[in-house]
Amino acid sequence: MKAVAIVPAYNEEGRVGATVRSLLESGAVDRVVVVDDGSKDATGAEAEAAGAAVIALRKNRGKGGALTEGIAAVDAAAYLLADADLGETAGRLAALVERVASGGAHLAIAQFDTPGGFGLAKGLARAGIRLLTGETFKSPLSGQRAIAREALDAVWPLPVGWGVEVAMTVKALWKGFTVVEVPVELTHRATGRDAAGFLHRGRQCAAVLRTLCELGLSRGRAR
């Protein structure tokens, strides 16, 4: 089984091309679809030159919104979700596709250390997932994931913002799918400790908390 890679990208000129090439060279994906999420630079052109099919969004829709557009445009047995800033290390995500293709998991998440930041959003996500499912994940916010089509259908629709990873994990576990973490060595652009970095982390924490609350409420209503 080969997957289709879906890569949401916002202002990733200078890295997205290397990410696309590495994914294609890995042999794990049939094609790469980059969703240019309203970038103001040459992200789309760079991705296309590297061999990706590009979906250009006029306005920034957020990670979940971009993923939704990309997935909806492609029919595949499995999907590899990858961030645009992984560069030459993106090809190592082949290990995730292999785990899903072998039947060892329905959802395989890349476990890796994220540089920068203070771990607030990660800690919140880890605690929330544990509370809702009883399972603990080392990289609960990892956006690098391979997912089988049947599992993706079960967790659809995806949230539009930064809560997409948490929602995907929780819903997959609730529906009885096997979710595993796979250690992968990756590099990507770290969130800085400047004002922009603090704002980003604040928005991420808010999105994760909102998603966890919505999941908890939906679970309560279902009972």
Domain that holds residue 57: 3-222
The reported pLDDT for the residue numbered 174 is 97
The reported pLDDT for the residue numbered 115 is 58
Q: Rounded to an integer, what distance in angstroms lies between the CA atom of residue 209 and that of residue 114?
A: 20
What confidence tens digit (pLDDT) does each residue in 98-117 have? 999 999 999 999 999 765 54
Q: Rounded to an integer, what distance in angstroms lies between the CA atom of residue 219 and that of residue 149?
A: 23
Kindly report the CATH number assigned to the domain that includes residue 33.
3.90.550.10
The reported pLDDT for the residue numbered 179 is 98
What confidence tens digit (pLDDT) does each residue in 148-166 have? 999 999 999 998 778 999 9
> Quick one: CA dihedral 10, 122, 96, 150, positive or negative?
negative
Assign 196 a pLDDT band (cuts: 50, 70, 90). low
Give me the number of domains the chain comprises: 1
